[in-house]
Copies of this chain bind each other. A is one copy, B any other.
Amino acid sequence: MITSPTNSTIKEIRRLRDRSARQASGLAYVEGIRQVIEAGKGQDVIERVVYCDTLLTSSLARDWLKQAQRSGTPVLEVNADVFSRLAMKESPVGLAAVVRQKWSALPGVLAPADVWVALDAIADPGNLGTILRTLDASAGMGVILLDASTDPYDPTSIRASMGAVFTKKLVRTTLPVFSDWIDRHRISLIGASDRGAQDYYNFPYPSPCVIMLGSERHGLSEAHLALCRQVVAIPMSGNCDSLNLAVAASLILYEIYNQRRLSGGAKE
């Protein structure tokens, strides 16, 4: 059992809070029972489980931990003091893990039912995690992160995704590569922007469907809008005249999901 917060393994795990350390290692830090269990469902995702026996009271979590040990997952026991130093939450539950990041290539083939979200320069990891969570609930495939987007393996994104970061596909690429991919597969890219000419509601979304949204502050740029076959807008009333980015993405994802599940059409 590790009892020293200055232990080098503990320090290495703590460094995973920084994007640069996550990028250099290809690892990430996950905390909380639900998130760790979701991560454990993937093949070879968990590198190492970290737990604190005195903090870990959930019987569900303790059973899961036993199972993980039996199946050969490396497990590190730490005391409450060390766990609190690692933990991001104020009342840590005693279960965390170091996980291996999984990135996918742009898909070579798209099935008719596939729905993807392409995000350019999304800045807030909470928004990214929330979009992944909605993608999971609405039968979407994953996210395509363009250029300067935030990291889905940021602890805030992992938490907001409620485990969807481990079940949805994550692609990162550049605008030229994305643009080639759109052309090559003749994808009807649908932009979402307040400058869109089409109402997002009752819009005939294509199958397969790639929806593109821009950053929280600036939305889609001219260069991105130029790639879109059509651009939808979410009508708004009121003073502020804006929606949270994850809310806007979720409204569109659910409109697609609702249309498909009620038509009995492209839904898998």
Contact = CB atoms under 8 A, between A and B. Distances in A.
Interface of A: 38, 41, 126, 130, 133-139, 160-164, 167, 201-202, 234-244, 246-247, 250-251, 254, 257-258, 261-262
Contacts of A241: 137
Given A244-B130, A262-B201, A164 B238 contact: yes
Contact of A41 (B202, B234, B239): B239
A236 B137 contact: yes
Count this chain's copies in the assembly. Answer: 2
User: Which of A126, A240, A261: most chain B Cβ within 10 A?
Assistant: A240
Contacts of A254: 201, 234, 251
A246 B160 CA distance: 12
A81 B5 CA distance: 33
Contacts of A161: 240
Contact of A242 (B133, B139, B239, B244): B133
Contacts of A202: 262
Contacts of A244: 130, 133-134, 160, 246, 250
Given A134-B247, A247-B134, A251-B254, A261 B235 contact: yes
Nearest to A166: B239
Contact of A251 (B126, B164, B238, B250): B250
B163 A240 contact: yes
24 contacts: A38-B240, A130-B244, A133-B242, A133-B243, A133-B247, A134-B243, A134-B247, A135-B238, A136-B237, A137-B234, A137-B236, A137-B240, A137-B241, A137-B242, A138-B236, A138-B237, A139-B237, A161-B240, A162-B242, A201-B254, A234-B254, A235-B257, A244-B246, A247-B250
